[in-house]
């Protein structure tokens, strides 16, 4: 971090004496909110940082609070989410390829274009403040370029640019919605294929990625009820999970709340709760004592399974390949009947014969894009091919570890058909398992389609887009 960026910004001073005629020019007063936003945009571009980790740290270090913090958040996250749309518009205003524009200058153009297209910040303020930042970071000629490009951007609003740049909605509905909602085309196509829709449903699913997700809590079974937790936290009992609570927006850091500090509750999306619960809801003949979580880190679902196992008399083995994540599982499940193993789930060297197995496989995370502003632009289609191989191997391993008549829940936080139905279809072709109607293990949850598997969606269920398939071993 350069000393210049760490400097506390100077504020305009009305009583300042008239400027000197000679000597070095004072640097223009920098707006602290925009400076933070620009530094976040830059960290995302330069070092693949996560915006939602960098931003809170910068706000804290620079002691930025209140309205400035709110503006910095809106600009940093908004810019990261809308990057592809912003680049398309900037590209239309620059007479050379964007790849030849200096990175520091491009950061400023994105920040300026975001303000012009997606906020109510007056045009002159958006342009002038961004040009000041460009001058500080890239020098005067670059700031002149930024000024000229942003003036062109400001000649139309977002709708005007979309009318000019977006593919025709009838001829290319996916391309149209991809640009309109600022998603890469391949992500929009993956959503469309999972939804079986290229119209309003697809638009709603894509738009939901820009909404701030509500924080959900898990009321640990046997420790506290959802009703009690809701009363203590001021939240609402969740609509579908009997252990879920939804917190009101803007309620501060839930980690500071007493039930979480005392491990009576944990932050966990309601969709994750429903998928772990689904595994426990399938009726079994015979013993029901040995449960396995094959991809357990950091332990969210292991806590729920361990707590339910403690009540029903089952023990959970939790496998995690990454040692530091296995430690998190150990900490999270302390006091529960859970044994943690650092191992590869494809060959965990555990005694087979499990009654219930959860495979919460590593995935593209396309179902949780609303949680990571930049994620939609960072993921690549090639990631999916690599992941499906691992997902298939983990699922095959789980079917070797579960007893005949036992059940496997295959879960991913992605609606991409290659990661969901594709992996399952391949496993079923081996002929040692049957697909169950997974919807029956999601009682009360509406809009689950034709089955047999379950795909949750933010725009339908208010959860991450989790996929769950229940299989029974022959
Ligand atoms: C989607 S996360 C699991 C989330 C977890 N079930 C929870 O609810 O908190 C997938 C986990 O699988 C782990 N993993 C990746 N490859 C693995 C492998 N071959 N064997 C076991 N775990 C693996 C990752 O490190 C990651 O922690």
The closest-lying atom of ligand 1 relative to the alpha carbon of residue 394 is 19
Q: What is the CATH number of domain 270-473?
A: 3.40.50.150
List the Cα angle 279/320/322 in 5-degree steps: 150
Superfamily of domain 27-153: NusB-like (1.10.940.10)
- Closest residue by CA, ligand 1 atom 26: 297
The closest-lying atom of ligand 1 relative to the alpha carbon of residue 390 is 19
| pLDDT tens-digit map of 181-216 | 999 999 999 999 999 999 999 999 999 999 999 999
Residue 4 pLDDT > 50, yes or no? no
Which of 274, 278, 297 to probe ligand 1 with, by most ligand atoms within 8 A of CB?
297
Q: Has 413 been annotated as catalytic?
A: yes
Residue 87 pLDDT > 70, yes or no? yes
Q: Distances in Å between the alpha carbon of 81 and those of 50, 75, 114, 186, 207?
A: 12, 10, 10, 15, 11
Residues contributing to the annotated binding site for S-adenosyl-L-methionine? 295-301, 320, 344, 360
| pLDDT tens-digit map of 128-167 | 999 999 999 999 999 999 999 999 999 999 999 999 999 9
**What is the reported pTM?**
0.93
Domain edges within the chain: 27-153, 166-210, 216-267, 270-473
| pLDDT tens-digit map of 350-403 | 999 999 999 999 999 999 999 999 999 999 999 999 999 999 999 999 999 999
State the complex-level ipTM: 1.00
Residues contributing to the annotated binding site? 295-301, 320, 344, 360
Assign 474 to helix, strand or coil.
coil
Burial 187-196 (b: 16+ CB within 10 A, else e): bbbbbbbbbe
Q: Which residues sit with their C-beta closer than 6 Å to ligand 1?
A: 272, 295-301, 319-322, 325, 344-346, 360, 362
- Closest residue by CA, ligand 1 atom 6: 296
Expressed in angstroms and rounded, the spacing between residue 190 Cα and the centre of ligand 1 is 23
| Residue spans of beta strands (DSSP E) within 22-169 | none
Which of 302, 305, 320 to probe ligand 1 with, by most ligand atoms within 8 A of CB?
320
**pLDDT at residue number 254:** 84
Contact 34, 51 (CB under 8 A): no
| pLDDT tens-digit map of 268-309 | 999 999 999 999 999 999 999 999 999 999 999 999 999 999
Beta bridge partners of 244: 218
Assign 354 to helix, strand or coil.
strand
Backbone angles phi, psi at 292, to 5 degrees: -135, 135
| Average per-residue pLDDT for the chain | 93
């Amino acid at each position: 971090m350069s000393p210049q960026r760490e400097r506390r910004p100077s504020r305009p001073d009305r009583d300042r004496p008239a400027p000197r005629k000679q000597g070095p020019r004072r640097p223009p007063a920098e707006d602290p909110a925009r400076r933070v936003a620009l530094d976040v945009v830059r960290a995302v571009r330069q070092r693949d940082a996560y915006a939602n980790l960098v931003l809170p740290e910068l706000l804290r270090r620079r002691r930025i609070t209140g309205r400035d913090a709110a503006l910095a958040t809106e600009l940093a996250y908004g810019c990261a989410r809308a990057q592809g749309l912003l680049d398309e518009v900037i590209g239309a205003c620059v007479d050379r390829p964007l790849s030849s524009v200096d990175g520091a200058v491009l950061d400023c153009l994105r920040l300026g274009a975001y303000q012009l297209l997606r906020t109510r910040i007056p045009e002159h303020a958006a342009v002038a403040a961004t040009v000041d930042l460009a001058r500080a970071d890239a020098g005067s000629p670059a700031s002149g370029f930024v000024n000229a490009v942003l003036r062109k951007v400001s000649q139309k609003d977002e709708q005007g640019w979309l009318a000019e740049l977006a593919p025709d909605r009838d001829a290319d509905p996916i391309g149209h919605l991809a640009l309109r909602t600022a998603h890469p085309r391949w992500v929009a196509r993956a959503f469309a294929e999972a939804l079986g829709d290229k119209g309003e449903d697809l638009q709603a699913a894509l738009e939901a990625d820009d909404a701030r997700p509500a924080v959900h809590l898990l009321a640990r079974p046997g420790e506290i009820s959802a009703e009690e937790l809701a009363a203590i936290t001021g939240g609402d009992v969740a609509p579908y999970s009997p252990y879920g609570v939804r917190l009101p927006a803007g309620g501060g850091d839930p980690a500071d709340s007493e039930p979480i500090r005392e491990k009576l509750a944990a932050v966990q999306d309601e969709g994750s709760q429903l998928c772990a619960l689904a595994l426990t809801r399938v009726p079994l003949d015979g013993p029901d004592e040995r449960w396995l979580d094959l991809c357990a880190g950091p332990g969210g679902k292991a806590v729920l399974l361990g707590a339910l196992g403690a009540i029903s008399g089952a023990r959970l083995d939790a496998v995690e390949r990454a040692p530091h994540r296995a430690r998190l599982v150990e900490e999270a499940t302390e006091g529960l009947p859970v044994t943690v193993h650092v191992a590869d789930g494809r060959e965990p060297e555990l005694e087979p014969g499990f009654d219930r197995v959860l495979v919460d496989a590593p995935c593209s995370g396309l179902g949780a894009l609303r949680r990571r502003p930049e994620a939609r632009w960072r993921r690549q289609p090639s990631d999916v091919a690599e992941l499906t191989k691992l997902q298939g191997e983990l699922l095959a391993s789980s079917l070797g570890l579960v007893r005949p008549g036992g059940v496997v829940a295959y879960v991913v936080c992605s609606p991409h058909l290659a990661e969901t139905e594709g992996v399952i279809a391949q496993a079923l072709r081996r002929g040692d398992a049957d697909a169950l109607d997974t919807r029956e293990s999601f009682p009360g949850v509406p809009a689950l389609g034709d089955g047999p598997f379950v795909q949750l969606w933010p725009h339908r269920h208010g959860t991450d887009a989790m996929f769950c398939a229940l299989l029974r071993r022959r």
